[in-house]
């Protein structure tokens, strides 16, 4: 593996972890919004 390959693998892993965290936060936020329908979004 060249140096650029190692950097690309690390970048892909970090972006995948970030995407998983964002998706989990989005799902949690949607669930909270469904639970409290009387709350207004501002």
SS3 35: helix
Question: For residue range 9-36, what is the model confidence (pLDDT) as tens digits?
Answer: 999 999 999 999 999 998 888 888 877 6
**Tokens 């690390």 map to which residue?**
10
Domain chopping of the chain, boundaries: 1-32
Round to whole Å and give the CA distance between 34 and 37: 6
Question: Does pTM top 0.75 for this prediction?
Answer: no
Task: Tell me if 25 sits within 8 A of 33, measured CB to CB.
Answer: no
Question: Which has the higher per-residue pLDDT, 23 or 39?
Answer: 23
Question: Which has the higher per-residue pLDDT, 38 or 13?
Answer: 13
DSSP character at residue 41: P
DSSP character at residue 40: P
Round to whole Å and give the CA distance between 19 and 25: 10
């Amino acid at each position: 593996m060249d140096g650029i390959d190692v950097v690309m693998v690390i970048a892909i892993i970090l972006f995948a972890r970030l995407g998983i965290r964002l998706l989990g936060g989005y799902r949690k936020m949607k669930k909270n919004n469904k639970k409290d329908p009387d709350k207004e979004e501002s």
